[in-house]
């Protein structure tokens, strides 16, 4: 079915198409018969896995960026994911970068985006998350919250944005992810440097300890770090007691691209990221040496890509751009082995 719909979607502006599909999934999740239909069509076998003290019904999750404001949780959960990582959420609403800011690289099965964390802010997202899981009713899916700083927050004040978000979401999300690796917020990746990262994660650890709820905290890193930068980042992540690593975010590399949009600025995702993300994942797994789980993300377009990440040592795998090209059946295909 998706093969018939995709050409129509691809005639739309990528961001318009994304908004349309997200709203359709949101509506389908609200109406019980349509939600049950999605579950019947797209839920694969359960393959339980434990990580960060949480129990996931399967290892396949949705990467941050798809549902930035947490508006479509029931519908997305019906597609069979073991977890949904919402956001990136910022403390205050912000429009993000000027449009156009999303570009399909159809010949490469990739996407370049320079969104810049657009969203309605923490208060709005918190309301959506509460609404998706009424008090007394268990969630059908693990919820992660990807946290980022506002664009107009000076880098030296970024810690306060992250601490504010931890206070907002520590009792609402099953885990939190510290996003310091998006290439689309000026200066953000500097937070991955050893000194700034020690300051940030040290403060994050203290803030979590002061919260009544103490969710696992993961750190999402860039795939473009040098070996020395990667070693420093992992050392700080482990020393500050973080619970896991997400490897990796989008890349600034443009190696091997054929599409006309390859010159656009922003982060590259999809199939062109596969080799780089696998290489970074392998390095991270060796560096953490079993001390914390690792989430593999980047370039997962088919069951073989997901299996390879698990074989490389990932405990969980996330997808996003792969669904744009393969459709919502990708999760089930992965779980059933294609």
- Omega before 36 within 30 of 0, i.e. cis: no
- Is the separation of the CB atoms in 68 and 86 below 8 Å? yes
3-state secondary structure 208-273: HHHCCCCCCEEEEECCCCCHHHHHHHHHHHHHCCCCEEEECCCECCCCCCCCHHHHCCCEEEEHHH
Tokens, residue 94 = 């912000």
Structure tokens at 19: 């908004």
Between CA 19 and CA 14 the distance in angstroms is 9
Closest CA to 87 of 72, 102, 65: 65
Specify whether 182 is catalytic: yes
Residue 60: exposure state from Cβ atoms within 10 A (0-12, 13-18, ≥19): buried
* Total length of the chain: 338
Catalytic choice (164, 182, 269, 301): 182
101 close to 114: Cβ distance less than 8 angstroms? yes
Burial class of residue 277 in the structure, from the number of CB atoms within 10 Å of its CB (0-12 exposed, 13-18 middle, 19+ buried): buried
Catalytic residues: 182
């Amino acid at each position: 079915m998706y093969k018939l719909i995709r050409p129509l979607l691809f005639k739309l502006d990528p961001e318009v198409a994304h908004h349309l599909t997200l709203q359709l999934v949101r509506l389908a999740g609200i109406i019980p018969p349509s939600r049950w239909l999605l579950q019947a069509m797209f839920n694969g076998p359960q393959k339980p896995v434990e990580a960060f003290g949480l129990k996931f019904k399967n290892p396949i999750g949705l990467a941050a960026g798809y549902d930035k404001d947490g508006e479509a949780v029931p519908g997305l959960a019906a597609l069979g994911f073991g977890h949904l990582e919402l956001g990136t959420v910022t403390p205050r609403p912000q429009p993000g970068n000027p449009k156009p800011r999303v570009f399909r690289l159809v010949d490469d099965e990739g996407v370049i985006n320079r969104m810049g964390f657009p969203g309605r802010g923490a208060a709005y997202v918190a309301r959506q998350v509460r609404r998706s899981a009424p008090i007394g009713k268990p969630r059908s899916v693990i919820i992660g919250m990807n946290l980022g700083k506002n664009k107009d927050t000076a880098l030296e004040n970024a810690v306060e944005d992250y601490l504010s978000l931890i206070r907002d979401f520590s009792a609402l999300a099953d885990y939190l992810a510290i996003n310091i690796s998006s290439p689309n917020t000026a200066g953000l990746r500097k937070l991955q440097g050893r000194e700034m990262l020690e300051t940030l994660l040290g403060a994050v650890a203290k803030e979590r300890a002061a919260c009544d709820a103490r969710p696992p905290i993961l750190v999402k890193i860039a795939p473009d770090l040098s070996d020395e930068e990667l070693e420093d980042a992992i050392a700080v992540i482990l020393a500050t007691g973080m619970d896991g690593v997400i490897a990796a975010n989008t890349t600034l590399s443009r190696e091997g691209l054929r599409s006309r949009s390859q010159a656009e600025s922003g982060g590259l995702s999809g199939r062109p990221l596969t080799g780089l993300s696998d290489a970074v994942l392998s390095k991270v797994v060796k560096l953490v040496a079993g001390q914390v789980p690792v989430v593999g993300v980047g370039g997962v377009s088919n069951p073989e890509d997901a299996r390879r990440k698990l074989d490389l040592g990932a405990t969980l795998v996330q997808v996003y751009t792969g669904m744009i090209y393969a459709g919502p059946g990708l999760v089930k295909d992965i779980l059933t082995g294609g």
